[in-house]
Chains A and B, each alone.
Chain A
Amino acid sequence: MSNLSESKYRGFKADRSKYPEMENGKPVIDLESHRYTKLWQGPQHPGVTGNMAVELIVNGDEIVSAKTHVGYLHRAFEKLMERRRYIQCFPLVCRICVPEPDTNEYCVSAAMEDLAGITVPERALWLRTLNLEMSRIGSYLMWLGGQAGSLGMGAVGQWTIGMRDFWLDLFEEMTGGRVYHMYMIPGGVRKTLPDGFRDRARGLIVRTRKLLYDVENTFLSNAIIKSRLQGLGVITTEMVDEFGIVGPIARATGRECDIRINNPYVKYGELDVKMLTSTVGDAYARAELRYRDLHQSLDLVTEILNRIPEDGPIQADMPNLLNWKIPAGQTYVKAESTRGEHGFYMVSDGSGKPRRVFARGASYTHAISLLEELAVNISISDLAGLMVSLHTCPPEIER
């Protein structure tokens, strides 16, 4: 406890003059010298955010080098989609990200609509906005639990995952599915809102805010949490472009990058979305920013619920989807997920199946090149907190 006061600098100011020896600007790590130990964190480890592994070389409890390994979850969605009809892609894409599948559905639908030149009706756009924003809330609640749990505070995780389940109940009412919804299909959405949905959603927003008040008191205002997160994994403004950092992580360094504001899609252009930024760039700033963003999402859902039109079509006139051919072309559609820019690059060659679909997830760079950079010089016990604060999601890396 003695170093709590000086722990503002968790950058772990280690003396690097003696080890590891540097040769041509690269560290020489000789495992035979018995000064270093190789340690695997993952693929099965409570501190790892899914099915990935970090290969660590440690000196004492300090990480000297880290290397991310993926491949435990490769399901070859992109290859499978090349052999399937457009409508058959939908059960696949939502599985690219488990906590937040709707961003995938939206991007694929929007890419197909962009290539085929289909205009989506007004009411369907509002329903899509509601669905996307609700999935952001679910993902943030899961993240809050993960961040607290990675630092040993299990209670917050149980509260927020429990609350997320109530949001999944709402998803079940709205779409029929709890985790994977397949709600947005090309041309619109599948269903309208059930009776009484709005009131139940408003009630849940109140309950979520009440829970977040508790979370703020126990988690964000906690001295131990602060001492562990402040100064951990500091990202500077210069690193944002260098590493292709997006989303809340980039916003925590002061970069104004929110696709909902910069390139508004669905109905975000008509909503009052605020650009939330911070200037510190460490793990605590990111946590606080995400907490504020969660509150903003709750505000947005309240606003959307009031503005969804009561009647109107929810589907555009579509050709037979089982035999749908899209004219040749290329497009890139992106949306703001809780981890940042989530996009789909789709190439059509005029046949009934896509030529190439590529899913660009934010974790692709965050979990590999950025994590390997930030993990050096921190202690082993902080690595889990760092990984969660980058909000890494391995399924996005190996689509």
Chain B
Amino acid sequence: MEQLVKRINGMIHLKAYNRQRDDLFFITVEKSQLELVLSHLKNNEGFTHLAFLQAVDFLEDSKFQLTYMLYNYDIRVNLGVKVLIGRDKAEMTSIHKLWAHAWQYQRELHELFGINFPGSPRVEESFVLEGWEEMPPMRRDFDTKEYSERTFYQRPGRSTNDPKEYMKEKMYKNYAASPRIRRDDE
């Protein structure tokens, strides 16, 4: 793996490299060089299997981290290629030409994170949310509770109680007076 990292480092500038386990490594590359690195890894280094492509929202840094998880069947190693992209008007190069199933992940990221992949087939189609007009829901600043309170209503006849106060009222009314709680039939 060290030799592989050296070879890639000779091609481009690696921002970071770390070893998580014997069979799992991560490298971080520049956004502009991602396609180059991925096609090199696929065509020349034997990392032919794309396990997934996913995003992580780092709201505090105003960044999305995209992770492309590759696998090499010969040396049996997983390699995660990480890219950090800006969170505002997030956009990334599409890799649908490298793997035939990459468009699926890109469509999901477009819908759930609001990351655009220009040129990716069917990227505008809805995946799991039909007719969604809110902010992409997997972003960290999407407030699930506020959304559900606004969209759905309380079922009539249901009320919300503070559990501590409610239980005190219902069960432990004479708790201070009695040494232990007795049932009525005792």
Contact = CB atoms under 8 A, between A and B. Distances in A.
Q: Do A and B bind each other?
A: yes
A364 interface: yes
Given A71-B129, A242-B99, A398-B128, A331 B20 contact: yes
B49 A330 contact: no
The bracket for how many chain A residues form the interface is 35 or more
Nearest to B105: A364
Interface stretch (B4-12, B50-58, B155-163): B50-58
A365 B128 contact: no
A87 to B, nearest CB: 20
Contacts of B80: 330, 332
B33 interface: no
A348 B57 CA distance: 12
B62 interface: no
Contacts of A373: 100
Given A329-B20, A331-B20, A345-B69, A358 B54 contact: yes
A71 B127 contact: yes
B124 interface: no
Interface stretch (A29-37, A146-154, A255-263): A255-263
Interface stretch (B21-29, B84-92, B165-173, B174-182): B21-29
A343 B50 CA distance: 13
B73 A79 contact: no
A70 B49 CA distance: 24
A355 interface: yes
B103 interface: yes
A71 B24 CA distance: 32
A271 B130 CA distance: 47
Interface string A152-173: 0000000000000000000000
Interface in A322-348: 329-332, 334, 341, 343, 345, 347
A373 B103 CA distance: 14
A79 B101 contact: no
B20 A360 contact: no
A218 to B, nearest CB: 36
B71 to A, nearest CB: 8
Given A368-B104, A369-B103, A345 B54 contact: yes
Nearest to A74: B128
Contacts of A330: 20, 26, 67, 80
B137 A76 contact: yes
Nearest to B60: A349
B76 A262 contact: yes
A360 B51 contact: yes
Contact of A369 (B73, B104, B128, B144): B104
Given A244-B50, A332-B69, A345-B52, A70 B128 contact: yes
Give the dominant DSSP class at B's interface: mixed
B138 interface: yes
B127 A369 contact: no
B129 A74 contact: yes
A329 B80 CA distance: 13
B48 interface: yes
Given A76-B137, A244-B50, A356 B73 contact: no
Given A79-B137, A83-B144, A347-B56, A255 B104 contact: no
A345 to B, nearest CB: 6
B101 A332 contact: no
Nearest to B73: A257
Contact of A345 (B57, B67, B73, B129): B67
Interface string B40-54: 000000001111101
Contacts of B50: 244
B104 A364 contact: yes
A257 B73 CA distance: 8
Nearest to B98: A242
B124 to A, nearest CB: 14
B127 A242 contact: no
A247 to B, nearest CB: 12
24 contacts: A71-B128, A83-B144, A114-B21, A241-B99, A242-B101, A244-B51, A329-B20, A330-B20, A330-B26, A331-B24, A332-B69, A334-B51, A345-B67, A345-B69, A355-B56, A356-B56, A365-B101, A368-B101, A368-B104, A369-B100, A369-B101, A369-B103, A370-B101, A373-B100
Interface of B: 20-21, 23-24, 26, 48-52, 54, 56-57, 67, 69, 73, 76, 78, 80, 99-101, 103-104, 126-130, 137-138, 140, 144
Interface of A: 70-71, 74, 76, 78-79, 82-83, 114, 241-244, 246, 255-257, 262-263, 329-332, 334, 341, 343, 345, 347, 355-356, 358, 360, 364-365, 368-370, 373, 398
Given A263-B76, A332-B51, A345-B54, 4 more contacts: A241-B49, A242-B101, A360-B51, A369-B100
